[in-house]
């Protein structure tokens, strides 16, 4: 078969993705990634998004490691252990749940600002 001639018609608003003819070229990739690879623009966007997500993950981990022990403890107990504020207050010897909530909000504020500056 000669791939140098022919006609392809496409409905309005539809897209077509094209892969190479090498049947083995995509064996090492998951199906969804292979499908996306057929659309070069979409693939480039997805790869850029993945790179950005990795950058954010790295920033979050780095900034978290640089936080004070009290911030790390509160955030860990609240977000990972799903512990309520009143129990965190008792566990970490804070006056009450409102004190912990204020501290958590300050920690999140500093953390968000630091992550934003880290990835810029």
Please tell me the distance from the alpha carbon of residue 118 to that of residue 101, in angstroms, as a whole number. Answer: 25
Alpha-carbon dihedral sign for residues 79, 85, 87, 92: positive
As given in the structure block, the two tokens for residue 118 are 């880290």
What predicted TM-score, i.e. pTM, was given to this entire model? 0.55
| Distance, CA of 15 to CA of 89 (rounded, Å) | 56
The rounded average pLDDT for each run of 10 residues, N- to C-terminus, in the chain (120 residues) is: 71 74 74 74 84 84 89 93 96 96 92 74
| Contacts by residues 49-56 (CB-CB < 8 Å, ≥ 24 positions apart) | 55/119, 56/115, 56/119
């Amino acid at each position: 078969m000669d791939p140098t001639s022919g006609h392809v018609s496409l409905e309005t608003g539809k897209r077509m993705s094209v892969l190479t003819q090498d049947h083995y070229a995509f064996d090492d990739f998951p199906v969804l990634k292979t499908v996306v690879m057929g659309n070069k623009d979409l693939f480039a966007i997805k790869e850029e998004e993945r790179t950005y997500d990795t950058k954010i993950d790295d920033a979050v981990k780095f900034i978290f490691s640089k936080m004070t022990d009290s911030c790390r403890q509160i955030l860990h107990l609240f977000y990972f252990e799903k512990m309520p504020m009143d129990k965190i207050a008792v566990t970490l010897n804070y006056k009450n749940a409102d004190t912990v909530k204020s501290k958590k909000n300050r920690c999140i504020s500093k953390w968000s600002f630091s992550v934003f500056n880290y990835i810029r």
